[in-house]
Amino acid sequence: MTTTWIRRVSAPLRIERSDERLETLTVDGRAFAYQDVGAGPTVILAHGSGASHRAWAPVVAALRDRYRVLTPDLLGYGRSEPSPVNARFHPWSDLGVLIALAERVDAPVHLVGHSYGGALTLEAARSLGARVASLTLIDPVAFHLMRLHMSSHPERTAAVYRGITTPTRLIAGQASPSPARAIVDELVYILGNSHLRVLPGAGHMSPITHPAEIAALVAEHITGTHALSMEEERMIG
């Protein structure tokens, strides 16, 4: 660990908009819209609360020449199905769409999540295991991790996440709120194959305020992970 400063799936349907084409995916009876652009290794981007796939637009523009980029609208955002007004919110529907998109790809995918999307992506990595080639978590709001220190069995709880062996890059804004940074630091401690990059001048909304830097950090991590995988295969062979 290092720290460095710097379900049920239906067939897809097309939704036509004046400036873009979106696909739809039905997971557990709920309709999700998602953007699918570019070609190459697959990267799935999960947005935070109050956003949509459009929050990733500058990042997608920087990545799409090298990667196939999938950006879903989570439940209640963008063109996805509205959240039920008089029903309990079930975050596993959002988790399900990330897993469903990953399972549609023939090769391991690269998962990237910001804020709420980062918490979802962390859980998706637990479920998908070896199907995840790399994991990038940007200020993930996995607040349940803060309860570890109050738990009577903190190591047992942390062990659930220590099972994630995927190469993981954690990104924190230099000016991110203290609770968000505390979660990042906890994950650096828990995840054995992880490291931290701190983005100077950025706050919690770095994918929007610093998209070029975020895209570069994501691409760098993917490239480094691929190079390490190739070296491991060479040594085994």
Nearest in space to 56 (alpha carbons), one of 73, 40, 41, 68 = 73
Question: Using CB atoms within 10 A of its CB, is residue 101 exposed (0-12), middle (13-18) or buried (19+)?
Answer: buried
Residue range 32-83, pLDDT digits in tens: 999 999 999 999 999 999 999 999 999 999 999 999 999 999 988 899 988 7
Whole-number pLDDT of residue 12: 39
3-state secondary structure of 72: strand
Give 2-236's CATH code, choosing from 3.20.20.140, 3.90.1860.10, 3.40.50.1820, 3.90.550.10: 3.40.50.1820
Please state, for a pLDDT cut of 90, what percent of the chain lies above it: 66
Average pLDDT over residues 233-237: 52
Is it the case that residue 149 has pLDDT exceeding 60? no
Separation of first and last alpha carbons in the chain: 27
Q: Which residue matches tokens 């980062």? A: 118
Distance (Å, whole) CA 9 – CA 101: 9
Residue type, 209: T
User: What is the band of 5 on the pLDDT scale with cuts at 50, 70, 90?
Assistant: very low
Whole-number pLDDT of residue 153: 59
Q: Could you state, in order of their start, the residue ranges of all structural domains in the chain?
A: 2-236
pTM, full prediction: 0.86
3-state secondary structure of 98: helix
Task: Please give the full DSSP string across 172-227, using - where no structure is assigned.
Answer: EETT--HHHHHHHHHHHHH-TTEEEEEETT--TTHHHHSHHHHHHHHHHHHHHHHH
**Phi, psi (degrees; rounded to nearest 5) at 188:** -60, -35
Residue range 105-146, pLDDT digits in tens: 999 999 999 999 999 999 999 999 999 999 999 999 988 777
Average pLDDT over residues 89-102: 87
